């Protein structure tokens, strides 16, 4: 058993803009329980940036951090002007110790991504992540403030970023799963768009506000069924043609026993803190779906160091290292891989976070499927040396119902 230790802060998610040019129906910032964005300044000020960079410099010197990441996020971070990022990157370069390698990333809906932006972001060595769902789902959910879909504009932005000579890194894509879409068509879409790196998000949801298509008490597993369809098509492809799908790669690594960090599965030793446009330091951003104001704990870059922020109760809960498995998951034969699921998906107002994921059955079905597929594809001698054994979805359900695991 790993001993508990203080979490290492891997980086900050900087909310550089609190408003967005789109109004995606599933967005946790605007269209779930929390409405605190209304009190946020639209953009992060230079004064707040100065405090943030000073706090990061203090943290890196104190912990002799070899690396630190800034993830620019919103709202839509391209609503802040290029000069904002040029100033911030310059200040970081002058303020952080030379031994700290700094990496930058920016997550955008790509609608505002012009060639001039690509030039600026490339010069600042900022990597791009672009939000892009399955085409029809994208136009249905990722809409502007007049309800119009944004798929075409997002694809144009993706193409621009892929082709711009100033951007050294190929953009990654982040997609929210729509279980009503066709996973094989989605894979074909990725290949057509030459996407090389993809990550997948399960829609936000909790035990009291369940995700779409997952009503309370259902025994259906629409997300597992969709993900298994995608996994099987992806796994059958020649390795050289496969895009990297991080969600699957993390599950495979965990099954093989690697100490992989996988936030979406509740398996992370590395922590990102969120800084709002007004300078408040907060825990995981999407916790906002749990209840209004839940991430507000009175921590602020003007008043508190990053280490002090780790003592705020919700931040401390997210920073537990190693992460605590929910009580009901302790008997689960795949608990080491699943980790109880993403912390947001465990929430219930009555019992907090000590619950299995609202996606429990979906995760169980997906992980057992991937484990069994791996076992049949690996050389027998390799499997025999490991501790893997086939385990079915029904067997895991049986164990959790009190049956003995063979
Ligand atoms: S599959 Fe369900 S019971 Fe098992 S660890 Fe995940 S959430 Fe817990």
Choice among 42-51, 233-242, 254-263 with the minimum mean pLDDT: 254-263
- Residues 356-384: what's their mean pLDDT? 90
Distance CA 355, CA 304 (A): 31
- Residues 267-282: what's their mean pLDDT? 89
Distance spanning both ends of the chain, measured CA to CA: 23
- Residues 120-133: what's their mean pLDDT? 98
Tell me the CA–centroid distance for residue 262 and ligand 1, in Å.
Answer: 15
Residue 357 confidence (pLDDT): 96
Distances, alpha carbon 122 to alpha carbons 37, 118, 126, 169, in Å: 29, 6, 6, 9
Which segments within 88-162 are labelled E, that is strand? 101-108, 126-131
CB of 340 sitting under 6 A from ligand 1: yes
**Atom number of ligand 1 nearest to Cα 400:** 3
- Residues 125-140: what's their mean pLDDT? 98
Residue entry with tokens 């000069």: 83
| 185: confidence class by pLDDT, cuts 50, 70, 90 | very high
Residue 260 confidence (pLDDT): 73
User: What percent of the chain has pLDDT above 90?
Assistant: 82
DSSP, collapsed to helix, strand or coil, labels residue 178 as coil
CB of 358 sitting under 6 A from ligand 1: no
CB of 363 sitting under 6 A from ligand 1: yes
Choose which residue among 346, 356, 365 to substitute to test ligand 1 binding: the one with the highest number of ligand atoms within 8 A of its C-beta: 356
Chain mean pLDDT for the chain: 93
Residue 268 confidence (pLDDT): 67
Residue entry with tokens 């059958």: 236
pLDDT at residue 3 above 70? no
pLDDT at residue 382 above 90? no
Residue 404 confidence (pLDDT): 61
Residue entry with tokens 């993830």: 71
- Residues 92-113: what's their mean pLDDT? 98
pLDDT at residue 125 above 80? yes
Distance CA 197, CA 128 (A): 11
- Local structure of residue 391 (DSSP, 8 states): -
Distance CA 180, CA 200 (A): 15
CB of 332 sitting under 6 A from ligand 1: yes
Tell me the CA–centroid distance for residue 390 and ligand 1, in Å.
Answer: 17
| 5: confidence class by pLDDT, cuts 50, 70, 90 | low
pLDDT at residue 402 above 80? no
Question: CB count, 10 Å around CB of 4?
Answer: 10
Residue 104 has which token pair? 């930058």
Residue 1 confidence (pLDDT): 47
Residue 373 confidence (pLDDT): 93
Distance CA 156, CA 374 (A): 37
Q: Which residue stretches of 149-208 are H helix?
A: 151-163, 183-192
Choice among 71-80, 250-259, 350-359 with the minimum mean pLDDT: 250-259
CB of 224 sitting under 6 A from ligand 1: no
Residue 269 confidence (pLDDT): 66
Distance CA 311, CA 122 (A): 37
Residue 384 confidence (pLDDT): 72
Q: Are 340 and 357 in contact (CB under 8 A)?
A: yes
Residue 390 confidence (pLDDT): 81
pLDDT at residue 279 above 80? yes
Residue 406 confidence (pLDDT): 47
Distance CA 242, CA 228 (A): 16
Residue 146 confidence (pLDDT): 97
| Whether the bond into 403 is cis, omega within 30 of 0 | no
Phi-psi region of 64 (alpha: psi -120 to 50; beta: other; left: phi over 0): left
Which segments within 7-62 are labelled E, that is strand? 8-15
Choice among 20-29, 80-89, 197-206, 376-385 with the minimum mean pLDDT: 376-385
């Amino acid at each position: 058993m790993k001993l508990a230790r203080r979490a290492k802060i891997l980086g900050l998610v900087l909310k550089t803009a609190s408003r967005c040019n789109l109004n995606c129906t599933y967005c946790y910032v605007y269209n779930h329980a929390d409405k605190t964005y209304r009190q946020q300044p639209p953009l992060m000020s230079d004064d707040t940036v100065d405090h943030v960079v000073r706090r990061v410099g203090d943290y890196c010197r104190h912990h002799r951090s070899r690396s630190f990441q800034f993830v620019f996020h919103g709202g839509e971070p391209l609503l802040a002007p290029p000069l904002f990022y040029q100033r911030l990157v310059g200040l970081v370069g002058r303020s952080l110790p030379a031994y700290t390698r700094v990496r930058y990333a920016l997550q955008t809906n790509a609608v505002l991504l012009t060639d001039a932006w690509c030039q600026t972001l490339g010069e600042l060595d900022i990597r791009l992540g672009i939000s892009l769902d399955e085409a029809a789902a994208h136009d249905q959910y990722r809409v502007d403030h007049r309800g119009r879909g944004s798929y075409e504009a997002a694809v144009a932005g993706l193409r621009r970023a892929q082709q711009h000579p100033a951007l050294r890194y190929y953009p990654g894509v982040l997609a929210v799963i729509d279980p009503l879409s066709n996973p094989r068509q989605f894979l074909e879409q990725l290949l057509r768009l030459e996407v090389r790196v993809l990550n997948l998000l399960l829609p936000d949801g909790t035990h009291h506000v369940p995700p779409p298509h997952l009503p309370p008490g259902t025994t259906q597993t629409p997300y597992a069924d969709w993900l298994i369809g995608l996994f099987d098509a992806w796994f059958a492809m020649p390795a050289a043609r496969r895009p990297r799908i991080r969600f699957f790669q993390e599950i495979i690594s965990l099954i093989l026993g690697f100490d992989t960090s996988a936030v979406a599965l509740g398996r992370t030793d590395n922590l990102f803190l969120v800084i709002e446009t007004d300078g408040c330091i907060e825990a995981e951003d999407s916790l906002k779906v749990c209840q209004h104001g839940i991430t507000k704990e009175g921590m602020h870059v003007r008043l508190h160091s990053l280490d002090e922020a780790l003592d705020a109760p919700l931040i401390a809960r997210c920073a537990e290292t190693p992460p605590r498995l929910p009580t009901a998951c302790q008997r689960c034969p795949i608990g080491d891989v699943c980790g109880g699921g993403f912390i947001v998906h465990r929430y219930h107002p009555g019992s907090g976070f000590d619950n299995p994921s609202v996606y429990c059955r979906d995760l169980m079905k997906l992980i057992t499927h991937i484990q069994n597929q791996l076992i049949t594809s690996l050389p027998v001698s390799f499997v025999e040396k490991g501790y893997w054994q086939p385990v079915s979805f029904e067997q895991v359900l049986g164990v959790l119902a009190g049956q003995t695991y063979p």
